[in-house]
Amino acid sequence: MPRAIWSGSVSFGLVNVPIRLMSATVDKEIHFHQVDEKTGSRIRYKRVSEKSGREIDYDRIANGYELSSGKWVILSDDELQAAEPERTHTIDIEDFVALAEIDPLQFDRGYWVVPQDQEGAKKAYALLRTAMEKKDRVAIGRFVLRTKEHLVALRPLQGALSLHTMRFADELVPASKVDGLPVRTKAPAKELATAEKLIESLTVKWDPGAYRDRHRAKVKKLIEKKSKGQEITVEPVEEKPAVIDLMAALEESVAAARGNKRKRKKSA
């Protein structure tokens, strides 16, 4: 069982819910080390001064911030502590909102909220979870993890409470700030109707287990082949040409999607 990354309590009004936070995700990315291709030995990096070319002791390294003028402001770890938030052990709920009102771009990491093994903790936990379920609301609050204050959202999920750290609004890039967005071109009526048919023919009930990390599986196969001394061949990637006849492409796509749906029903 994974270890708790944080313990404290959730506070709403005068009610405190003693809890622990457990990670809700598992890192399954395949990690590589940088090595010398000829000898296979690991590559290590040293802390080297750009000016002298000499390696610098760790205790001499400070935090530098470059101003627009090119001047550097140097802050020590001790000085940075002046900006650290007060390390409380409470997630203070400030507001309740509808989940649909939150831009998914704001969500960052996910955790499970687990009640502590204390008298009354499970009862208070169930009270908060059930009340949020009945009102269909998400709790917005703040807490300090390590040295950073995080904006968080708590929501009822799978009979439990989950917590998501969030990005602040000024960390999001709106479409209006991206070159080429938003797109003002209007969709032709006939093509739009056919596109809607295509969407309908591809619509299924959401099943997260139906989607696998195909890239990770391919990388694992490459590692297995190479470990057995087999040669790896790289096939050239063919670029798909731009669609000229949009309507013809849509109609062909609708027919293909309907055919695939019939095959799925027969095999089910």
pLDDT tens digits, 138-192: 999 999 888 889 999 999 999 999 999 999 999 999 999 999 999 999 999 999 9
In a domain, 36, yes or no: no
In a domain, 79, yes or no: no
Instruction: Say what percent of the chain tops pLDDT 70.
Output: 93
Q: Do 158 and 104 belong to one domain?
A: yes
Pairwise pLDDT comparison (135 vs 3), residue with the higher score: 135
In a domain, 119, yes or no: yes
Digit-coded pLDDT (tens) for 22-70? 999 988 999 999 999 999 999 999 999 999 999 999 888 889 999 999 9
17, with CB counted inside 10 A (0-12, 13-18, 19+), is buried
Digit-coded pLDDT (tens) for 220-243? 988 898 898 888 888 887 776 766
What predicted TM-score, i.e. pTM, was given to this entire model? 0.78
CATH code, 108: 2.40.290.10
State which residues form the domain around 111. Answer: 6-28+84-171
What DSSP state is assigned to residue 147? T
pLDDT at position 166 is 96
Q: Which amino acid is at 37?
A: E
Last residue of a domain, one of 122, 139, 171: 171
- Measure the CA–CA gap between 40 and 149, rounded to whole angstroms: 42
**Confidence bin at 76 (pLDDT 50/70/90):** confident
Measured over the CA atoms of residue 6, residue 12, residue 17 and residue 18, the dihedral's sign is positive
Q: Do 167 and 118 belong to one domain?
A: yes
